[in-house]
Amino acid sequence: MQRLTAPANPTEGPGRGDILTPMDIEVPVAEGDRRFLMVRSGGTFYAVPARQVRHVVRGLVCHPVPGAQPHLLGLAQFAGEPLAVLDLHSMAEGAAPQSSHRTTVILGRGARDSWTAVGLAVNEAMRVQTVDRITENGHRGELVSGTIDLDGERFKVVDTAVLFEGRRVSEGGLGDV
C-alpha cells in the first residue's frame, strides 16, 4: 500500500498547506473511471474518483463562515482563489462535523483555465487504487453511490458530480453553503 506523505520541505506561510501530491494528470478514460483516491474521514473509508482530484493538501487553513451549514467547515485560500471546504463524513453520514481533519482533497471540474473547485476535509489520504468492481447502491444522485471492498475494508464511493450540481444536502448536493 502506497501512502501519501508530506514533502521534506513543507510549504510555509499563513494559510498555505503542504501539498502532498498534485493530481493534475490525464488518465485514459477507460482506466480513469476505475481509479480512486482512497481516504479516511470520521472513521469511515471513502473512494473519491481520481479523475476529479486536483490536489491533496495538508494543513490548509480554513476560516469559518458565520451562519453557514454545519457541513461547510469554512473558506480557505488555494492558488490565490477562495475554496469552500466541506466535511466529507458529515455530508455522507449526516454526522456532526469534526475538527480533527488534517488533509483537504481539492476536487476540480471543468477546463484548467476555468475550473470550479471544492475541498473535501478528510483525516487521511491513503493511496490511489485501480479497482475492478464497484457495488452500486442503486440510488442515482446520492453523495455515496456505491461501495468497494478492498483489503478487508469497505470503501464508500463518492459521486463527485453531486457536489457540483447545486442540489441541497438532503438531495445529495452541497446545499446552501
pTM: 0.76
CB 157 within 8 A of CB 38: no
Give the pLDDT of residue 83.
93
> Confidence band (pLDDT; 50, 70, 90) for 162?
confident
Query: pLDDT digits over 40-94, tens only?
Result: 999 999 999 999 999 999 989 999 999 998 889 999 998 888 999 999 999 998 8
What is the rounded distance in angstroms from the CA atom of residue 21 to the CA atom of residue 118? 17
pLDDT for residue 113 is more than 60? yes
Q: What contacts 129, CB < 8 A, 6 or more positions away?
A: 35, 36, 38, 47, 150
| Alpha helices (H) along 1-156 | 29-32, 88-93
Cell numbers 470503501: residue = 155
* Domains of the chain from N-terminus onward: 18-171 (2.40.50.180)
Does residue 45 or residue 145 have the better pLDDT?
45
